[in-house]
């Protein structure tokens, strides 16, 4: 017991630091360690660097400097909760935990505490329904959009019909990996393909039996919902069994350089979804180089710049920064509160012109949030890996998801959540 | 002087056999309880509850549970994560099926269900021992996690396979769900910890505990002197699983609020709890607390020192933290193979003789 009290006293002394003055505090719940670090590191770097750019070039957002507090979660929900509680007291404005598991933890907590949660391309899909999920935003696209976009792309490839085709889903056996199953089942009913569900357990380093199953069942296409080391292992295994890479499509979390590089030439032709452009051919990198990289302010080792997930971290930071700006405009104060920022998120509109102005033309899709719609248009592109040139190339324009199937699913899931938790629907 | 038997006269057998025979020790114990119940709830905030006290208390229950099985009865178990999952899922099914029944009843019932499952997986212990039993319990760990992932009935057919605790109240105060005040979370866990630790302490001092220890020290000899190994071993499995199940139910319902089985109750959890009792001290209730404190609080403390205090980058701090915790574990086991509890015991022995050790 005495040990506990000493530890407690030491902790108390450390936690006694006063709250920060006149800053926009944005926590970055990142993971730079563990089996998911290949995804966590570039994302966190991109997220940090964009805010550093705003601080260095513009003096922050609307004259307020941004303070990013990084907290290591290791993709672990218990550490995620610790990070949330530790950063909450600092006046955090918005959470972006980059983990579906942690998002599920934080939805009720953040809702009770009145802090917005921004989960672009991950998290709880049905949070797209703003009537139920007041504090959660997941635009521009979510998992079910991704599933639908992938199927639409395959429909296009097959002249509009997937009847009699066999599609396998290799998924991370967690909330994240299970998210698309409902949608893919629903779409299977509509388009007449056969869905084969193949689970891979955390962390996904061992997939021999799963790919043996694929070799035996010979699906026409393989979709993958993987993350961390699981991606690289799956692509390597697919190459080992000589599965045709052009028929292997990963979600946007399974399509980064770190996933394909270990398989070398074997990964050539592997496809993945993309919710934004990638590479260094955007004007924003000139500004980043001048204000961030050349001054030695780059986050992390600085070796992830321009990669897919770096771009995504930057994109998330950009949307948050725009929401802060919107909130400042609505409420006329520079030091916005989390509740004011929520209004900013809800009325946010990002146009092509605005993206070009920010130095990222033709990067992401335009979207406008409303009280009901926290999910955005949900379109996605397909990118393909060129192993010789070591780069991703976008091979389709933005493909819109099948809202006819998705909207009822989202409605069903979110109303069930509302009923379970006694939430009265908003925006009436 | 402070820590002395001298002058503390016992006039009844009950007084002579009490848990804390030394007055100072007894008062310290009451003092800790008074602070835990009377002071901490008024000072606690969300951070202290969710990052420090609640996980510490819950892991202490799990560690006591495993200590009963491994430390007292000598049966090595690697299935703790799976049994915690049974507690969590039982609690979830009960609280969604019978929302009108008090959540505290559900938590106890979840422990009871886990005891049943533990009993089932304890049957092989009658035939196999040591490493072989560890492998059998490892099978329980993997089987249970697989089961809760595979069968949608356990997670009420939710799309993501996650289970989320709906809000439940006790005497009008939320105990589960996001609206739970920090002090309520803390007090619920504290009540369970105190009650269970008290029961465990007295069980291990009684006939059943002595049977367990006899089995642990030499099962053939125990059988010869009349200990029924079937009864003793299965009782250890059931009671241990009851504790572990309650820890799992609290971890899910009160602490995290939403879990997925592979992530929250994987093999890592089984090792974590096993390390807690090894570092804390096998066969000691205090050791369970010390081990839980060591492995729950030290990482949080180190993180705050390295990142918050010294301003290191989070990744460097996370790596160093692993190294420091690992090094400390090795160091402790070299310096004192019997764990923190033995250090505490030695300190008490020395205190009794101080300042005249000869």
**Is B263 in CB contact (< 8 Å) with chain A?**
yes
Q: What is the pLDDT of residue A416?
A: 86
Q: Which residue, A282, A345, A271, is CA-closest to A311?
A: A282
DSSP label at A424?
Answer: P
User: What are the structure tokens assigned to B80, written together?
Assistant: 């703790």
**Is A173 in CB contact (< 8 Å) with chain B?**
yes
User: What are the structure tokens assigned to A150, written together?
Assistant: 């992938």
Q: What is the pLDDT of residue A310?
A: 94
Cβ-Cβ contacts under 8 Å, B56 against chain A: 4
Q: What is the pLDDT of residue A21?
A: 52
Find the helix packing angle between B285-303 and B182-205, rounded to 10°. Answer: 150
Identify the band that residue B249 occupies on the pLDDT scale cut at 50, 70 and 90.
very high
Spacing of C-alpha B160 from chain mean position: 29
**H-run or E-run covering B205:** helix B182-205
For residue B132, pLDDT beyond 70: yes
Q: What is the pLDDT of residue B50?
A: 87
CA–CA min distance B161, chain A (Å): 6
Under an 8 A CB cutoff, do B313 and A108 touch? no
Cβ-Cβ contacts under 8 Å, B32 against chain A: 1
Instruction: Look up tokens 């942690």; give the residue.
Output: A102
**H-run or E-run covering B258:** strand B258-259
3-state secondary structure of B68: helix
Under an 8 A CB cutoff, do A178 and B258 touch? no
Tell me the CA distances in angstroms from B329 to B19, B81, B340, one per residue in order.
Answer: 29, 21, 11
User: Considering CB atoms only, which of A71, A74, A201 is closest to B262?
Assistant: A201
What residues of chain A score a pLDDT lower than 50? 1-20
**Is A300 in CB contact (< 8 Å) with chain B?**
yes
Q: CA B165, A186, A202 angle in degrees (round to 5)? A: 50
CB contact at 8 A, A49 and A299? yes
Under an 8 A CB cutoff, do A11 and B301 touch? yes
Question: What pairing do the DSSP bridges indicate for beta strands A271-274 and A349-350?
Answer: unpaired
Picking from B263, B297, B319 by the largest number of A CB atoms within 10 A of its own CB, the best residue to mutate is B263
Radius of gyration from C-alpha coordinates of chain A: 21
Identify the band that residue B328 occupies on the pLDDT scale cut at 50, 70 and 90.
confident
Question: Going by C-beta distance under 8 Å and a sequence separation of 6 or more, which residues neighbour residue A355?
Answer: A361, A362, A363, A364, A366
Tens-digit pLDDT profile for residues B80-110: 999 999 999 999 999 989 988 999 999 999 9
User: Considering CB atoms only, which of A11, A88, A182 is closest to B46?
Assistant: A88
Under an 8 A CB cutoff, do A33 and B298 touch? no
Under an 8 A CB cutoff, do B259 and A77 touch? yes
CB contact at 8 A, A346 and A332? no
For residue B357, pLDDT beyond 80: no
Tens-digit pLDDT profile for residues B253-290: 999 988 888 888 989 899 999 999 999 989 899 999 99
Picking from A109, A197, A198, A299 by the largest number of B CB atoms within 10 A of its own CB, the best residue to mutate is A109
Under an 8 A CB cutoff, do B50 and A15 touch? no
Beta bridge partners of A274: A381
Cβ-Cβ contacts under 8 Å, B259 against chain A: 77
Under an 8 A CB cutoff, do B166 and A178 touch? no
Instruction: Look up tokens 């997925």; give the residue.
Output: B260
Q: What is the pLDDT of residue B126?
A: 85
Under an 8 A CB cutoff, do B178 and A74 touch? no
Q: What is the pLDDT of residue A6?
A: 46
pTM: 0.89
Q: What is the pLDDT of residue A20?
A: 43
Residue ranges and CATH numbers for the domains of chain A are: 21-142+280-378 (3.40.50.2300), 145-278+381-407 (3.40.50.2300)
Dist CA B47 CA A282 (whole Å)? 41
**Is B309 in CB contact (< 8 Å) with chain A?**
yes
Q: What is the pLDDT of residue A16?
A: 42
Task: Tell me the average pLDDT of chain B.
Answer: 90
Picking from A40, A102, A125, A174 by the largest number of B CB atoms within 10 A of its own CB, the best residue to mutate is A174
**Is A13 in CB contact (< 8 Å) with chain B?**
no
CA–CA min distance B148, chain A (Å): 11
3-state secondary structure of A1: coil
**Is B266 in CB contact (< 8 Å) with chain A?**
yes
Q: What is the pLDDT of residue B312?
A: 83
Q: Give residues 154 to 183 of B whose Cβ lies within 8 Å of A.
A: 159-162, 164, 166-167, 177-179
Cβ-Cβ contacts under 8 Å, A108 against chain B: 164, 177-178, 257-258
Torsion B132-B136-B139-B140 (CA) sign = negative
Q: Give residues 26 to 55 of B whose Cβ lies within 8 Å of A.
A: 28, 32, 45-47, 50-52, 55
Cβ-Cβ contacts under 8 Å, B50 against chain A: 81-82, 85
Q: CA B176, B182, B185 angle in degrees (round to 5)? A: 45
Picking from B30, B85, B159 by the largest number of A CB atoms within 10 A of its own CB, the best residue to mutate is B159
Long-range CB contacts (< 8 A, 24+ apart) of A55-63?
A: A56/A291, A56/A292, A56/A295, A56/A297, A57/A287, A57/A291, A60/A24, A61/A24, A61/A321, A61/A324, A61/A325, A61/A328, A62/A324, A62/A325, A62/A328, A62/A334, A63/A334
Under an 8 A CB cutoff, do A3 and B177 touch? no
The domain segmentation of chain B, as residue ranges, is: 46-266
Identify the band that residue B8 occupies on the pLDDT scale cut at 50, 70 and 90.
confident
Under an 8 A CB cutoff, do A3 and B50 touch? no
Q: What is the pLDDT of residue B124?
A: 86
Q: Percent of chain B at pLDDT above 90?
A: 51
């Amino acid at each position: 017991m005495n040990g506990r009290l000493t530890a407690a006293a030491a902790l108390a002394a450390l936690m006694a630091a006063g709250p920060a003055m006149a800053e926009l505090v944005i926590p970055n719940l990142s993971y730079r360690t563990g089996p998911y670090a290949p995804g966590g590191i570039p994302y966190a770097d991109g997220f940090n660097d964009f805010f550093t750019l705003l601080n260095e070039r513009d003096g922050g957002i609307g004259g307020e400097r941004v303070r990013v507090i990084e907290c290591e979660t290791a993709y672990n929900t218990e550490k995620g909760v610790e990070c949330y509680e530790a950063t909450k007291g600092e006046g955090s404005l918005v959470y972006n935990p980059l983990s579906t598991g942690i998002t599920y933890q934080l939805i009720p907590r953040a809702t009770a505490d009145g802090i917005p949660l921004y989960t672009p391309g991950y998290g709880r899909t049905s949070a797209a329904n703003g009537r139920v999920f007041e504090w959660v935003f997941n635009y521009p696209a979510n998992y079910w959009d991704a599933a639908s976009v992938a199927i639409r792309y395959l429909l296009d490839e097959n002249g509009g019909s997937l009847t009699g085709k066999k599609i396998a889903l290799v998924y991370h056996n967690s909330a994240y990996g299970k998210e698309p199953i409902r949608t893919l089942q629903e779409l299977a009913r509509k388009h007449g393909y056969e869905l084969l569900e193949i689970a891979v357990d955390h962390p996904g380093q061992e997939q021999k039996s799963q790919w043996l199953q694929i070799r035996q069942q010979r699906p026409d296409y393989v979709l993958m919902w993987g993350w961390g080391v699981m991606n690289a292992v799956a692509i390597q295994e697919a190459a080992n069994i000589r599965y045709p890479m052009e028929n292997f499509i990963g979600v946007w979390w399974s399509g980064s350089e770190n996933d394909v590089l270990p398989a070398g030439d074997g990964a050539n032709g592997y496809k993945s979804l993309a919710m934004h452009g990638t590479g260094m051919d955007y004007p924003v990198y000139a500004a980043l180089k001048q204000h961030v990289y050349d001054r030695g302010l780059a986050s992390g080792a600085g070796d992830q710049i321009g990669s897919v997930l770096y771009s995504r971290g930057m994109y998330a930071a950009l949307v948050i920064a725009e929401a802060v700006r919107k909130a400042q405009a609505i409420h006329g104060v520079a030091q916005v509160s989390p509740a004011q920022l929520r209004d900013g998120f809800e009325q946010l509109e990002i146009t092509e012109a605005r993206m070009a102005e920010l130095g990222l033309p033709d990067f992401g899709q335009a979207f406008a949030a409303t009280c009901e719609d926290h999910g955005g248009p949900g379109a996605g592109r397909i990118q393909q890996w060129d192993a010789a040139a070591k780069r991703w190339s976008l091979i389709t324009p933005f493909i819109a998801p099948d809202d006819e199937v998705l909207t009822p699913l989202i409605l069903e899931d979110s109303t069930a959540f509302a009923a379970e938790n006694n939430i009265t629907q908003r925006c009436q | 002087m402070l820590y002395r038997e001298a002058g503390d006269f016992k006039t009844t057998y009950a007084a002579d056999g009490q848990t804390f025979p030394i007055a100072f020790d007894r008062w310290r114990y009451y003092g800790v309880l008074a602070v835990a119940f009377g002071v901490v709830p008024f000072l606690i905030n969300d951070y202290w509850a969710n990052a420090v006290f609640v996980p510490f208390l819950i892991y202490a229950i799990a560690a006591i549970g495993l200590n009963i099985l491994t430390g007292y009865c000598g049966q090595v178990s690697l299935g703790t994560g799976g049994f915690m999952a049974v507690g969590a899922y039982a609690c979830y099914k009960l609280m969604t099926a019978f929302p009108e029944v008090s959540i505290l009843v559900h938590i106890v019932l979840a422990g009871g269900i886990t005891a049943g499952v533990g009993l089932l997986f304890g049957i092989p212990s009658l035939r196999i021992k040591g490493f072989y039993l560890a492998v059998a319990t490892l099978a329980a760990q993997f089987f249970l996690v697989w089961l809760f992932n595979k069968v949608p009935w356990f997670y009420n057919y939710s799309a993501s396979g996650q289970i989320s605790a709906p809000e439940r109240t006790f005497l009008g105060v939320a105990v589960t769900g996001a609206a739970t005040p920090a002090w309520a979370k803390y007090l619920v866990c504290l009540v369970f910890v105190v009650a269970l630790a008290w029961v465990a302490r007295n069980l291990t001092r009684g006939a059943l505990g002595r049977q367990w220890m006899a089995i642990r020290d030499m099962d053939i000899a125990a059988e010869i002197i009349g200990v029924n190994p079937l009864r003793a071993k299965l009782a250890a499995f059931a009671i241990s699983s009851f504790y572990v199940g309650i820890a799992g139910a609290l971890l899910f319902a009160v602490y995290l609020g939403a879990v997925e089985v592979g992530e929250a109750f994987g093999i890592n959890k089984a090792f974590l709890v096993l390390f807690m009792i090894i570092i804390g001290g096998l066969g000691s209730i205090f050791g369970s607390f010390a081990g839980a404190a060591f492995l729950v609080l030290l990482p949080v403390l180190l993180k705050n020192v390295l990142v918050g205090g010294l301003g290191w980058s989070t990744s460097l701090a996370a790596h160093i933290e692993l190294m420091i915790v690992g090094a400390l574990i090795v160091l402790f086991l070299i310096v004192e193979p019997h764990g923190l509890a033995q250090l505490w015991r030695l300190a008490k022995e020395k205190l009794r003789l101080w300042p005249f050790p000869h």
